[in-house]
Amino acid sequence: QVQLVESGGGVVQAGGSLRLSCAASTFAFSSYAMYWVRQVSGKGLEWVAFIDQDGSSEYYADSVKGRFTTSRDNSRKTLYLQLNSLRLEDTAVYYCAKDLTVAVAGAVWGQGSLVTVSS
Amino acid sequence: EIVMTQSPATLSVSPGERATLSCRASESVRSDLAWYQQKPGQAPRLLIYDASTRATGVPARFSGSGSGTEFTLSISRLQSEDFAVYYCQQYNNWPPVTFGGGTNVEIK
């Protein structure tokens, strides 16, 4: 069964940085584009970032552009999200996911990692 | 950016009854629409893709319809495990990937 496991969340002060990881198992990670989506507690889903299979193409939501960077290490089957210049409004559960826009039949999400930005 | 609007925000339904959820796109997304179910403390789970195709393992009581800008998710004979929040998501024109605001299906 396809599995995505996020880690790296925690509490960080406003203006600080954090790096999230998403470890993939049981599928050919290097063959899939990957996504980050976040969710503020009690609110809806907000797409954050996209990275293609070899990491040569990235897209970001306007709300995080210039502050967040996604990358991947296909040899380690791991996806990363570097969060810099964090703001209070970045507090959310961050999910990694596959197949959100192509081959959507295979869409799978990780369990999420909570990032709390404090003042 | 394509804006996805879901209605109603909350739907109160009795177990065994039918639920009908709506999703509207600000411009045509053809049939490039997915529905997700999310329960408290869990990640979203894919139910429907390509507007009307059930994902693997999804019970037949879930059905999707529509194309262009108007979409519907129907749940016939609601069971206790179906009470959750449902989101639609378009993947026709991105970035950005956009989601609706969700419909909370609660027990009446």
Question: What digits encode the pLDDT tens for the residues B18-42?
Answer: 999 999 999 999 999 999 999 999 9
Query: How many angstroms from the chain centroid is the CA of residue A25?
Result: 16
Nearest to B88 by CA among A104, A64, A54: A104
Asked whether residue A1 carries a pLDDT value surpassing 90, the answer given is no
pLDDT at residue A26 in the model: 84
Of all residues in chain A, what percent carry a pLDDT higher than 90? 92
Kindly list the residues of chain A whose beta carbon comes within 8 Å of any beta carbon in chain B.
35, 37, 44-47, 50, 59-62, 95, 100-102, 104-105, 107-112
Average pLDDT of the residues in B97-101: 98
CA dihedral over A73, A76, A77, A79, signed as positive or negative = negative
pLDDT at residue A103 in the model: 86
* Closest approach of B98 to chain A, Cα-based (Å): 7
pLDDT at residue B3 in the model: 98
Asked whether residue A39 carries a pLDDT value surpassing 90, the answer given is yes
* Helical (H) or strand (E) element with B66: strand B62-67
Write the DSSP string, chain A: --EEEEE--EEEETT--EEEEEEEESS-GGGS-EEEEEE-TTS-EEEEEEE-TTSS-EEE-TTTTTTEEEEEETTTTEEEEEE-S--GGG-EEEEEEE-SSSSGGG-EE---EEEEEE-
Phi and psi for A90 in degrees, rounded to 5? -85, -5
Contact residues on chain B for A110, CB-CB shorter than 8 A: 43
pLDDT at residue A119 in the model: 95
Nearest to B7 by CA among B89, B65, B64, B86: B86
Contact residues on chain A for B44, CB-CB shorter than 8 A: 45, 95, 109
Choose, out of B1, B32, B37, B46, the residue to mutate when testing the contact with A (most A CBs < 10 Å): B46
Chain A residue with the nearest C-alpha to that of B43:
A111
Average pLDDT of the residues in B51-62: 97
The C-alpha atoms of residue A57 and residue A103 are separated, in whole angstroms, by 18
